[in-house]
Chains A and B, each alone.
Chain A
Amino acid sequence: MHIAEGFLPPLHAVAWGAASAPFVVHGVRSLTREVKANPESTLLLGASGAFTFVLSALKIPSVTGSCSHPTGTGLGAILFRPPIMAVLGTITLLFQALLLAHGGLTTLGANVFSMAIAGPWAGYAVYRLLRKSGLPLMVTVFFGAFFADLVTYCVTSVQLALAFPDPASGFAGSLAKFGGIFAVTQIPLAVSEGLLTVLVMRLLMASSKSDLVRLGVAKLTAPRTGEKAAA
């Protein structure tokens, strides 16, 4: 979903930067508040950022005959809420823009908006909605991560269609074109991301249930003895 360096007209680059900045600033505040209030969160925050690092480095073949990568943002959004994911996602995108020439500084605002803001919020909203309807936790985690991934790529398609409308069919024609490249490719990858997020959530349930309870993701059931001592 990376829009390459220089591939958004200056006006669009500035507008997406301006749209993203408040979310990232708010995210930094949420992050410092969380670390101050719960210093024991730091380790899990690092792990959530690390998950995004791994997943966004994996280029996986897809049904359209091209390759793309998951985003890994659903996990952090579910655990720590989307504002904090805006920060963790931005760090990942900066690393890729500066060291890999993947994405870019002029397109950072647009890429942050799709991967670190829109995706996490969409995934979190889906997760919360399904949670309310009483579905099992792992099902809600799967769909949360699935939509965080897919919406990211849909937003990228919209961003490019806005910047480069088709000369004949305009915005809609262009959206179909970019959607065909990004969104369709992404469907099986979003399934993969959902499955991997469920896997990590299962490992967290086994190893750090006390953290998940504190973050409101899991409910307290009779803890095992080791768990009680670790809490």
Chain B
Amino acid sequence: MSKNTKINTLLLLLVAALAVLPIALGMGEGKEEPFTGADAQAEAAITELKPDYEPWFSPLYEPPSGEVESALFALQAALGAGVLAYYFGVRKGRRQGAAAAAAAAPEA
């Protein structure tokens, strides 16, 4: 493994560790629903601060179930990852093509 690859792998491992540690250390214990979304907690806090507040507009479309919502979130991530992979693929292809052309060109 080159030094570059090692550093990149280490970066990914660090990110994974940061995500797993709160669960492994049981930071959600003692909560009614551990690891809910912060957005939902904010909604609950609003209702607490102003119990008579009624949302005055509702989403035009709501995913019919948690599963469908997860699927759409996965779709969002997949779209992003796909475009990123396409970008790096194109760059790599260009570099390889240029290198091949340079190698094939007669010595000037």
Interchain Cβ contacts under 8 Å between A and B, 8 examples: A6-B55, A43-B87, A50-B82, A54-B76, A98-B61, A100-B63, A177-B45, A229-B99
> A residues touching B (Cβ–Cβ < 8 Å)?
1-7, 9-10, 43-44, 46-47, 49-68, 95-102, 104-106, 156, 160, 164-167, 174, 177-178, 181-182, 185-186, 188-189, 191-192, 195-196, 198-200, 202-203, 206-208, 225-227, 229-230
Given known A6-B58, A96-B76, A166-B49, contact A66–B35 (CB-CB < 8 A): yes
Closest beta carbon of chain B to A97's beta carbon, Å: 7
Question: Which residues of A sit under 8 angstroms from B50, Cβ to Cβ?
Answer: 164
Given contacts A164-B50, A202-B4, contact A54 B55 (CB under 8 A): no
By beta carbon, the residue of chain A nearest B90 is A43
**A43–B89 alpha-carbon span in the complex (Å):** 11
In this complex, which of A62, A198, A227 has the most chain B Cβ atoms within 10 angstroms of its Cβ? A62
Residues of A within 8 A of B43 (CB): 4, 7
* Residues in B29-68 with C-beta less than 8 Å from chain A: 29, 31, 34-39, 41-43, 45-46, 49-50, 53, 55-63
Given A46-B87, A182-B42, A188 and B76 touching (CB < 8 A)? no
Residues in B lying within 8 Å of A, measured CB to CB: 4, 7-8, 11-12, 14-15, 18-23, 27-29, 31, 34-39, 41-43, 45-46, 49-50, 53, 55-63, 69, 72-74, 76-77, 79-84, 87-88, 90-92, 94-96, 98-99, 101-102
User: Are A195 and B11 closer than 8 Å at their CB atoms?
Assistant: yes
Expressed in whole angstroms, the minimum distance between the Cβ of B16 and any Cβ of chain A is 9
- Closest Cβ–Cβ distance, residue A116 to chain B (whole Å): 16
| Residue pair B77, A97 in contact (C-beta under 8 Å) | no
Chain B nearest CB, measured from A154 CB (Å): 13
A97 and B59 form a contact (CB under 8 A): yes
